[in-house]
Amino acid sequence: MIASITANLPVFVVIAPLFVAFVLPTFARRMRLVEGLVIFVETLGLVGAGYLASIVLRQKGIPIIYQLGGWPAPWGIELEAGSLGVFFLLVIAGVSLPVSLFAKGNLTEEVGSKERVARFYVLYLLLGGALAGMAVTNDLFNVFVLVEVATLSCCGLVSARNHPRAAEAAFTYLIMATLGSTLVLGGIGFLYMVTGHLNMGFASQELGRIWQDYPHVVWMAVSFILVGFGVKSAIFPLHVWLPDAHSTAPSPASAILSGLAVKGYLICLLKFLYSVFGPELMQKFAVHRILALVGAVAIIAGSVLALTQEELKRRLAYSTVAQVGYIILGFGLVNTKGLTGTLFYLASHAVIKSTLFLAAGAMLAATGKKNVRELAGVGRKMPITMAAFTVGSLGLIGIPLFSGFIGKWYLLLGSLEAGNILSVAVIIAGSVLCAAYLLPVIRGAYFEPGPEEDWKDPGLPQKIALILLVAAIVILGVVPGPFLELAKRAAAELLALQ
């Protein structure tokens, strides 16, 4: 029984949210049941991801393979729950559950009627299922299908807010995402043309054998995939859709888009770079140098743009552009410490940015104020919300004892090991700039006089959600333990050092 559950768990964590999303509209008028089902399936996902992670850790990184329909690779579609896959599954589940708890009884004002709320949850679960699929799939075309499901779900989540700006932002996102999808599909087509395989493992083996016969085709494939996923994950300067989309979406959608959706595309890019092309080809085509340079530029540019924003949610959205830069820079380090720091920082940023967007959404809902200067004194009137925002800010800056510090520390060690002094300087400068655009929010909230209005913290489910996310930030910063071990093993496997 346990062996059967274990063998089928990689596909179950993908299809469970997709199945519930399919049946959810039939219960649209029974909102408590809808919210209960969403929280239940997210809880199942967290339990399943935790169980898979414990197995992979016990097996010292040996992955759990699931072959759809019983067809072995390369003829069939293969799901692989290895160190990287279960790591990202834990991130997805660990963020999705608190966000769904925060949304409980809290969406009608932003979204509208009960039917619109139910449709929001359908899109939310479709996105969660697609992201889980991205974590475990080992098939190139499957990646494209899942990326499309995620993209369309994200567009729907952005447009879910009952506001004209949301429709405009969603349309811009759709146009840019379609361009990115076209480039990704083109890159997959080039790879299939020269290797004859869609399975990542077989495609990588064949590519290592024949790439010298088709160097221009391989370079085109790399270029298409880099730019395609660059658009989708908002790598500077391909980020133009993100500030409007993330700042106008409903607060739970902003949290999940910035916290998870962008990370899903980055995980797919990581798989293409390391599992298909491989570190050796990356270095032969100087892809690692391009990544490090683009990441460094994104950190500085995104931080400077965030400094100029008066609207809090737009400041957080531009901050995401900067934080994506850390991850892209880490992809280009091509060493174990650098990749470990990248993966851990990816998880840390997912939790932190979800906390910040949820806290910002709660403040916006309670005060009706959008701009940073208008939130003076909110810390004394909404203590739990502002405490969560403060912890998230300290984590994003990289203060010790918070999760962001661990990721940045390993990124610094990886940069030093690679001899990349510019990356060291940029990582430190990015942290200083991050403090420059987040600490004024905290200072104004706690140390400036506020109006006489009676602002209050949100309801109990929202408080619990914020507390859970804050606990995750602190625990990952103080006792990273198994999570850091998973990141190290995933990095070693990607570099073929295990």
Question: Can you tell me the mean pLDDT for 239-263?
Answer: 84
Residue 141 pLDDT greater than 50, yes or no = yes
pTM (predicted TM-score): 0.92
Q: Which element (helix H / strand E) includes 124?
A: helix 114-136
170 versus 291: the higher-pLDDT residue is 291
Q: What is the pLDDT of residue 435?
A: 92
Q: List helix spans (H) across 24-113.
A: 31-58, 83-103, 108-111
Q: What is the pLDDT of residue 446?
A: 85
Lowest mean pLDDT among 386-395, 448-457, 461-470, 477-486: 448-457
Tokens read off for 250: 């409903």
Split at pLDDT 50, 70, 90, the class of 190 is very high
Lowest mean pLDDT among 80-84, 104-108, 363-367: 104-108
476 versus 68: the higher-pLDDT residue is 476
Residue 498 pLDDT greater than 50, yes or no = no
Q: What is the pLDDT of residue 471?
A: 93
Split at pLDDT 50, 70, 90, the class of 2 is low
Lowest mean pLDDT among 231-235, 290-294, 345-349, 449-453: 449-453
Please state the separation of Cα 296 from the chain's center in Å: 19
- As a whole number of angstroms, the distance between CA 448 and CA 206 comes to 63
Question: Can you tell me the mean pLDDT for 93-102?
Answer: 91
Average pLDDT, the chain: 87
At 66 the three-state DSSP class reads strand
**What percent of the chain has pLDDT above 90?**
34
Question: Can you tell me the mean pLDDT for 393-417?
Answer: 91
Residues 214-247: tens digit of each pLDDT: 888 889 999 999 999 999 988 888 888 888 887 7
Which DSSP string corresponds to 272-303? IIIIIIHHHHHHHTTHHHHHHHHHHHHHHHHH
- As a whole number of angstroms, the distance between CA 99 and CA 87 comes to 19
Question: Can you tell me the mean pLDDT for 134-161?
Answer: 89
Cis? peptide before 74, omega within 30° of 0 = yes
Residue 264 pLDDT greater than 50, yes or no = yes
Lowest mean pLDDT among 54-58, 347-351, 436-440: 54-58
**Domain assignments of the chain as residue spans, ordered by start:** 293-498
Residue 187 pLDDT greater than 90, yes or no = yes
Q: What is the pLDDT of residue 1?
A: 56
- As a whole number of angstroms, the distance between CA 283 and CA 289 comes to 8
Contact 299, 330 (CB under 8 A): no
Residues 270-312: tens digit of each pLDDT: 999 998 998 888 888 888 899 999 999 999 999 999 998 888 8
Q: Cα-atom radius of gyration of the chain, to the nearest Å?
A: 21
- As a whole number of angstroms, the distance between CA 164 and CA 175 comes to 17
Split at pLDDT 50, 70, 90, the class of 185 is very high
